[in-house]
Chains A and B, each alone.
Chain A
Amino acid sequence: MQRACSLALTALLALLMGSEQQDNAALQKSLKDDAVHEAWIYNDLDEGFAQARKTGKPLLVVFRCVT
């Protein structure tokens, strides 16, 4: 039972994170902010910090007014 709950929670988190990524992709498209290399994490600071903790690399955060 516990394992089933844990799996459900993991699936829900993955769904939410995927949803946020989709939202950011849609936002990028609507802003026509196209000239962005795929290596950039787009509009997701939490993901940036997570990657920095995982890789040991420093963060480089660009704030850019696109609208």
Chain B
Amino acid sequence: MDEQVARREAPLGTILDQFVCVRMIQANGMDLSLFQFDYDLTWAVFFLHADRTIYGRYGTRSDEGGSKDVSLEGFRQAALGVLELHRGYPANKAAFAGKQGPPPQFAAPEDSPLFSARYQAKLKPGSNPRQTCMHCHMVRVAERVAFRAGNKPLDEGLLWPYPLPDAVGLVLDSREKATIKEVGPNSLAARAGFKARDQILRLEGQPIVSIADVQWVLQHAKDNKSLRAEVQRGDKVVSLTLNLTPSWRRNSEYSWRTSTWDLRRIALGGLKLQEAARAGVPRELLELRVEHVGQYGDHAVAKKAGFERNDVIVSFDGLDRHASEYDLITHVLMKRKPGDKMDVTVLRKDRRVQLVLPVQ
């Protein structure tokens, strides 16, 4: 997809001629007061007015591959939608206010305490970009580390960032402009009255051109909030109210995110786990095999605690029922503070071994 857009392949060419197109390949110097988005993306688009008003965002990912969540046709539809919004500017300016984010923790990624010693705002000519370029996901890592330094459990918004619409029961078609493909039965969206083929026009008053725009609104929605929506249904515009419930974000999944590596460092001491699924073991019991043990620095905390590859975790901080790696990370980040110690039991060559894992 990136190559197709970079080469301006048909049917994009004439549409992109109506934009000033900028390709940014580094996060160094990124103005975080303006460019706030799902930083775990490796490809993300902003549509803007020259006065920094954000018309919309494009770019979504729900798994490690990410290709199913974007399409050239969907991107084309989003761009056409933006051109229509631009034609209505500045009369429609007030509608875009919600697309600007809150003040960021740091002005730019390299300003965070985690990275300030290593990265600069501009790449030095002749330097190796693979060593000096900052990646977008580093912004999320820095935010979490800064939050964690406050010795608090992690905020749900940081742990489940940019929830996909399916967290509320909406599956959007990546080939169309903010158009619903399916509504989950008994979901929050179903209760609100959304239907398949509805095109979301506005959410909380913000014009919507993409799945990313829906995610932006969801990112800033609190528990128990009601979101106002307008959808095009046939030749009618229908108003709906989406009522969010406590912990609705947890319907999202984050294990695919690049920034989850750092969560493994914090919560699992650098371990990567997978379901063991041993024959003869009841499914309801905890059984996670250690697939990888971090070897260096803070990623080697579990190694120093005595964990080994192929250990099978059967008890973790009092949990012994079936859980995924994702569940364990969530448990630690929501319930434990840096410096806490957790009792863990592993099976190693059919022996039970007791270990103590510190939380970072």
Residues of A within 8 A of B (CB): 23, 26-28, 30-31, 33, 35-37, 39-45, 47-49, 51-53, 55-67
Measured CA separation A51–B136 after assembly (Å) = 25
The interface residues of chain A lying within 8 Å CB-to-CB of B5 are 62
A61 touches B125 (CB 8 A): no
The interface residues of chain A lying within 8 Å CB-to-CB of B49 are 52, 58-59
What are 14 A-B contacts defined by CB distance under 8 Å? A31-B129, A36-B23, A39-B16, A44-B22, A58-B20, A59-B50, A61-B45, A62-B2, A62-B6, A62-B23, A67-B25, A67-B129, A67-B130, A67-B135
B21 touches A23 (CB 8 A): no
Measured CA separation A19–B43 after assembly (Å) = 27
| Contact A45 B123, CB 8 Å, known A27-B129, A61-B46, A65-B136 | no
A43 touches B47 (CB 8 A): no
Instruction: State which of B42, B48, B125 has its C-beta within 8 Å of the C-beta of A23.
Output: B125
| Contact A30 B129, CB 8 Å, known A57-B20, A62-B21, A62-B45 | yes
Residues of B within 8 A of A (CB): 2-3, 5-8, 16-27, 30, 35, 37, 41-50, 55, 79, 82-83, 86, 123, 125-126, 128-130, 133, 135-136
Query: Shortest 4 CB-CB distances between A and B: which pairs?
Result: A48-B22, A52-B50, A60-B19, A65-B42
| Contact A26 B46, CB 8 Å, known A33-B25, A35-B3 | no
Measured CA separation A53–B49 after assembly (Å) = 9
Instruction: State which of A52, A58, A63 has its C-beta within 8 Å of the C-beta of B136.
Output: A63
A10 to chain B, nearest CB (A): 23
The interface residues of chain B lying within 8 Å CB-to-CB of A27 are 25, 123, 129
Instruction: State which of B16, B43, B48, B55 has its C-beta within 8 Å of the C-beta of A64.
Output: B43
